[in-house]
Structures are given as structure tokens and as C-alpha cells.
Amino acid sequence: MIDEGYTLAEMLVALAVVGLAIGGLTEGMRVTSRLQGQTYQAMASGRTLDRVGFGLEQLIEGRGPFPSERSDLFQGAASGFRVACGKQDPCSAALSSQEDKVILDLEEPDGSHHALVLQGVQSAHFAYAGTRTFGPVWPAAPSSASPAPGASQTLRTISLIGTSADGEDTPLASVRVWLEQTPDCPVGAAAGSCQGHRP
């Protein structure tokens, strides 16, 4: 009779080594999965914010300047803005909330709608920086910063600001508006502003 095989101690050692290997592998997979999830989350959030910034830029590109006395060209509130974009209904950006999600709805010049979910924020609002004032409404109401009721200023920047769960405000996108006339826009000598885009 051949007496070959493993002793009980060898078997136990082998089982322990295999157990450790499987345990390590499982833990490694778990950590891998967690890190991958965090990486994906960070990249998805960045992609969404890039799309938000790009979408806002597309809405106002080549449509400025927006003087404060021309509310027919641009009207802004904390929840969104409307901008004349060459069609009957103005283009718009509007914020809304649905089931703890903040959604930015963009209506493009071609009539298409894009809904973008703003991740990582509890709420969001727009703010408008003019050449003299900064606030949640455009055209800005007369204030101590611009005491003269008829004082004209031009919109400089549209900012989308998100509020996180701990109440901290963070700018999500900041879009600059052209302060000068676009090359295809004839300037009215009396008004000193754009008199309509050339076809």
C-alpha cells in the first residue's frame, strides 16, 4: 500500500492560504469597485457641468450686448432667463426641481429642449453681473449702486450658482456676454446700440 497524500496540518495550511487569497481578492475587488465609482462620479459631474456651461454659451453667443434698458433682448431672474434669439419665442434657460434633483432646461434657437440634471446641489439660482451691479435680476432695479433710475449699464456675466447640502454657494458656470457690438450688427448713431443683426 502506498502511503502518499497530505497530512491534516498541510491541508489546513493550504486551506488557510487559499482563504486568505480569496479574502484579499474580494477586498481588492471591493476597493476597486469603490474607487471606480468615485472616479466615474467625478467625471460624470464634470461632464454635466461642461454641458451646462456650453449650453448657456450657445444660448447667448453672438446675441449681446444686452443694455439694461432693452429688456426685450434679455430678461433674467433667479430661476432662469429669456433671450431674444431671432425666432418668435425667445430662447430660455429655466431651473426646476423634481424629486430632489435640480434640472436646468435649455430651449435652443432651433426649438429643441435639453434637460440637464445638476448633480451635487440642493438648489441653484442665476445671478447677473452688469457693468455696475450684481444681483439675481436683470435688468437690475435702481439701488444705491446705481442710484439714477435711468442709468444704463450692460450685462457682463451670467452665473449659475449651486447651493450644496451644507448651504454653501458654489459657482457652477460663468458665461461672459459680449459688451461690444458684433461685426454683423449696424450701430445706431443716435441710440449708440445695435439696431438689429444683418441677415
Partner 1 sequence: MIALAILSSTIILSLAAIQEARGASLAGAEARRARVEMQYLLDTASPVEGLRSGRAGGFDWRLDTRATGPGSLSGAQICSLTAQLASLSSGRRYRLATTEICAPPPATP
Residues that bind partner 1 (CB under 8 A): 17, 21, 24-25, 28, 31-32, 35-36, 38-39, 42-43, 45-46, 49-50, 53, 127, 129, 134, 156-157, 159, 168-174, 176
Kindly state the smallest distance separating residue 141's Cβ from partner 1, in Å: 18
Burial of 137 from C-beta contacts in 10 A (0-12 / 13-18 / 19+) = middle
**Beta carbon nearer to partner 1, 21 or 187:** 21
**Beta carbon nearer to partner 1, 25 or 197:** 25
Kindly state the smallest distance separating residue 198's Cβ from partner 1, in Å: 29
Q: How far apart are CA 133 and CA 140, in angstroms?
A: 7
Kindly state the smallest distance separating residue 115's Cβ from partner 1, in Å: 21
Kindly state the smallest distance separating residue 82's Cβ from partner 1, in Å: 21
Q: How far apart are CA 54 and CA 96, in angstroms?
A: 19
Kindly state the smallest distance separating residue 172's Cβ from partner 1, in Å: 7
**Beta carbon nearer to partner 1, 53 or 142:** 53
**Beta carbon nearer to partner 1, 25 or 117:** 25
- Residue bearing cell 444683418: 198
Q: How far apart are CA 136 and CA 78, in angstroms?
A: 5
Please name every residue paired with 194 in a beta bridge, in sequence order, or none if there are none.
Answer: 187
The C-alpha cell that represents 44 in the structure block: 460624470
- Any long-range contacts for 2-6 (C-beta under 8 Å, 24+ apart)? none
Name the region of 99 (left: φ>0; alpha: ψ -120 to 50; beta: rest): left
**Beta carbon nearer to partner 1, 39 or 96:** 39
